[in-house]
Chains A and B, each alone.
Chain A
């Protein structure tokens, strides 16, 4: 089932299906290694519910939920 990364809860691993958005934002997300087929593990969510910390391509990356919304996963 296809969801946005924003909806994934802690401790789950998902695969990137598609990336929305455009320009600098989208490119930055791509550059950080979130490309089609990449595996993302949701490590933790900040105490106030945002941002979220991910493990992607062997390193830890923190992104905001508004950005995570652009990432379609399953």
Chain B
């Protein structure tokens, strides 16, 4: 939304006076553009401009999306994906923060564990799934593990660099007040690292849903990933795009919720 506002400012001169009104105007143009594109989509499908079994009209997708609200497999699939994503996200983030702080603080642990972590990091998720099936099976354990792994890395790397970036003055302040190491960790190091951790968590948030769906697409028997592929194979593109639509809505809501929570709980981000 802010981007649209900026474009508005650039494209019009003397934007000060009627700025609010103009923003609404620009926003309307933005909506109009989306409507035009959707209409083109609808027409291209209805009039056969695009010959494909996978190009349903927009209205068919919306009908499918609304139809699923009244009862269908999609919402169950969405719930099971969200459950896996949430568990994996929590596990990965907690491990990421804990290891990030420990490794950030301890040179010995850094030397011992960092090479291993750096080796695992660039391996793409789809590549690790088949071998992991041998150890974790194909059920929740596998998908939750993959989501945790994907959430772990941004949280971990941000935490470790956040710990490294803590100003010495802060630690020395705690020392001159004779605060023990545990309390220093909990009430100084941890909150001082929180802005960096939050940045990692935000990256992880946008990743987890994608990775959960991806894992379900490859080794799925339930969830949105499986649903997407199943609908593709069942020649139901309307339901497939409806699922994509729901994923997009959920992803957008998660991001908005994150911004709200961030402002509420970490208001000092970027303020030091």
Tell me, yes or no, whether A binds B.
no
Which B residues form the contact surface with A (CB < 8 A)? none
